[in-house]
Structure 1
Amino acid sequence: MEKDMQPIIIIGSGMAGYTLAREFRKLNTEQELVMICADDAVNYAKPTLSNALVGKKAPEQIGLGDAEKMSTQLNMRIEKETWVKSIDAEKHELTLEKDGQPSTQGYSKLILAVGANPIRLAIAGDGSDDIHVVNSLIDYRAFRETLDNCSTGECGNKRVVILGAGLIGCEFANDLQNTGHQVTVIDLAPQPLGRLLPNHVAQAFKDNLEQSGIKFALGTTVEKVSKSERGYIVSLASGQSLLADVVLSAIGLQPNIALAKATEINTSRGVITNTLLETSQADIFAIGDCAEVNGTLLPFVMPIMQQARALAKTLSGQTTTVHYPAMPVAVKTPAAPLTVLPAPIDVDVTWENEEFEDGMLSKATDAEGATAGKQRLTLTKLVPDLIPASV
């Protein structure tokens, strides 16, 4: 079959993959579209996982549609629980495996929406294999099952130790603390949200979370997690030991670049693309948490939306570059409400601070006086675009 008569294929059923499919279908209802994924292809919004307890959502209530529903809704063939073993970029062909059986599938355009994998520390102890990560609804189901067992008294008084005081770690800490759990957050950094906030804002953020009951052990790391009759003993490099019923790791994500590298697609931290989201191989694109666009990795919701809209147009014949305006990140920590626009890491900035009755505003300016980052949505128009709109 001619290449152009083959389907457009999306590898991955996360937010990036489904958002792209939805945006594409708004523009083209007839082109054959196929999604291939190794999981069950349930559509859900990953950001809802870190505050589902407060929202009283059970794991089975988080999904927005299973593979069958999404296939009908988007007029798309979904191959779930199917592994892409290799990509032949020259032939425009995939080698697949499902239930141990190999097959091949041609494509006209291929989109890598393969996401990112949780970073796992090398931690000693016979309890290290029991450390939870939550990077998917499947992970979350396992995590909640452990928490439910704790709530029945099997695990004492529901002590949760979280590794990582970044965005996800702090959101989970707030959600757990507000639903009857005792939470301690551990991080090697001296402050929470160290990559997003200046020291003075991070300190105020930490103070507010501590007032809700969350404890922090900062400037140290976990050396060992051991099983005990009382749950787990978490031994820190500082010499401190903590008792836990559940240990959750939220120390960050690494873009999934293995398939791209095997296909000789250029990679760095992520899968390298230009502003058209094209990789170094013809007719192969990347989107979402795996995509490093013009040297920038942005594993947040708003960049995914911008990417999906632009790529959908390109796939429909309207060549469109992705545009990154200022994109605020709302941190879901009601105990310490925060909206942040991160300052670029390679720019020297000066922070200006204003105190209000209901909080604070911190504004970063560079040497030329341009606003680089802040904690209020109302200032987004002052911030230069990360990737300007094409002219």
Structure 2
Amino acid sequence: MHPIVIIGSGMAGYTVAREFRKLNPEQELVMICADDAINYAKPTLSNALAGKKAPEQIALGDAAKMGAQLNMRIEVHTWVKAIDAEQHLLTLEKDGVESQQAYAKLVLAVGANPLRLAISGDGSDDIHVVNNLNDYKAFREQLAARQDKRVVILGAGLIGCEFANDLQNTEHQVTVIDLAPQPLGRLLPEFIATAFKQNLEETGIHFVLGTTVDKVSKLEKGDYLVTLADGRSLSADVVLSAVGLQPNITLAKEAGIHTSRGVLTNGLLETNLADIYAVGDCAEVNGTLLPYVMPIMQQARALAKTLNGETTQVHYPAMPVAVKTPAAPLTVLPAPVDVEVTWQNEELDDGMIAKAFDSNATLRGFVLLGQTAGKQRLALSKLVPDLIPAAV
């Protein structure tokens, strides 16, 4: 019998392997990845500085350790060049040499790639993105090499704000630039975004909103001049881009797998091709992309059962997202985008609770700002209907 093959060594790939091994210690498992397959929790990258964690301390295990732990063959620095769905065969390339790998079931856990803005200037190639541990090492190395510690962050979304808080907490001077008129524009109603921004500004973070970066130029001292689209400019020692992620769909598309924003799957995480599944940041499940930890866990548990012969639909309960910004503790449960909601707001001494109700007065989402509000997380989550109900 051919092995189950997982493409990708991120949180999704490793979690599927771990959950499957709980159910089936014997079935042959193979993981194929283009990088070194070091296992780590990606969410720790955006608050590692304040946690005094060096990049080496973030790693939980290398490929050898993880392979032994999960009784799994891990092929590192290996590219999947093509999927032959009919023959259940992968074409691989490692060190310029092609080979083939047969599979019984195939799991695409290929993640997402950072979006990059079109920015001119001789410093644009030096803009960091942090999408994996190696990216983070490079970012930390440049931070350590600079004395003035002025960091410009492109993007006031979740990752941009988390990095801003982490850097500001460790005596960096942080400026966050975004075209949107407010931080976390896609997650927060305006009145909460204003309070959130104010809390971060009180720590010294500077927001420049309603514009974008046009050009990054190198200066003689090794720092950079960042020129904005509105003509203003500022100096930086390090520039970090955190403008979002794009699911990695190229391999799937070339194999004839249906894609939209991500790799399209049903509630069983099946693609349109037999025995091929998708999980994690690349998976668009029933039309929904949720690149967060909790959905990945739900997907992995369900898929592990299905791979072991117990067909199981993924179940999405209400899954609030905790934003790692200690200066403005924030928990967000976004309302479904296709549902019209009305916000009700309750002010607290140290923050606020905002609830999103639909036309039937059903709670569909919420935002909790501050320590006191955060304690309502579990109680409110229980009142929100499941995004994908549990199978009966």
Tell me the TM-score range normalised by the shorter chain: over 0.9
Question: Is residue 44 of structure 1 aligned with residue 45 of structure 2?
Answer: no
Counterpart in 2 of 1:366?
358
Deviation readout 1:190-231 (Å, 9 max, x if unpaired): 000000000000000000000000000000000001111241
Where in structure 2 are the equivalents of 1:269-280 lying within 5 Å? 269-280=261-272
Matched-pair identity in %: 77
Amino acid at match of 1:252: G
* Equivalent in 201, 213, 216 of residue 225 of structure 1: 216
Correspondence list, 1:22-171, <5 A:
22-150=18-146, 153=147, 157-171=148-162
Q: 1:319 corresponds to which residue?
A: 311
- Which SS does the other structure have where 1:382 is aligned? coil
Q: In the aligned structure 2, how far is the partner of 1:109 from the partner of 1:141?
A: 34
SS in 1 for 2:116: coil
Structure-2 separation of matches of 1:139 and 1:382: 40
1:380 alignment partner AA = S
Please tell me the residue identity of whatever aligns with 2:363. T
**Structure 1 residue 319: Cα displacement:** 0.3
The residue number in structure 2 matching 1:383 is: 384
Question: In the TM superposition, what is the alpha-carbon distance from 1:359 to its structure 2 partner?
Answer: 1.7
1:253 aligns with 2:237: no
SS at match of 1:43: coil
Q: Once the two structures are superposed, what CA deviation does each residue of 1:91-131 show, in whole Å capped at 9, x if it has no partner?
A: 00000011111100100000000000000011010100000
Per-residue Cα deviation, 1:140-197 (whole angstroms, up to 9, x for no partner): 01000101111xx3xxx11000000000000000000000100000000000000000
Shift of residue 347 of structure 1? 1.7
CA distance in 2, matches of 1:218, 1:344: 26
1:348 aligns with 2:344: no
| Secondary structure of 1:81 counterpart | coil
> Which aligned segments of 4 or more residues in structure 1 are displaced greater than 2 angstroms?
none
Q: Pick the aligned partner of 1:295 from 280, 287, 299.
A: 287
1:117 maps to a residue whose letter is N
Measured in 2, the distance between the counterparts of 1:201 and 1:275 equals 33
**1:239 positional shift:** 1.4
What one-letter code is carried by the residue in structure 1 that aligns with 2:198?
D
1:375 Cα deviation from its structure 2 partner = 2.3
Residue pairs, 1:324-339, within 5 angstroms:
324-339=316-331
What is the CA-CA distance between 1:356 and the residue it aligns to?
1.4
Name the SS of the counterpart of 2:288 in structure 1. coil
Distance (Å, rounded) in 2 between the aligned partners of 1:192 and 1:248: 16
Q: Which amino acid aligns with 2:216?
A: V
1:363-391 CA deviation, whole Å, 9 max, x = no partner? Answer: 01011111111124131011111101111
Instruction: Output the aligned Cα RMSD.
Output: 0.7
Q: After alignment, is 39-48 or 367-376 more displaced?
A: 367-376
Partner AA of 2:81 in structure 1: K
Question: Is residue 2:174 matched to residue 1:178?
Answer: no
1:343 is displaced (CA, Å) by 1.4
Cα shift at 1:344: 1.6
With the length of structure 2 as denominator, give the TM-score of the two structures: 0.97
Q: Whole-Å Cα distance in 1 between the matches of residues 50 and 79 of structure 2?
A: 35
Gaps of 5+ in 2: 369-376
Q: What is the aligned partner in structure 1 of residue 371 from structure 2?
A: none
TM-superposed CA distance for 1:51, in Å, is 0.2
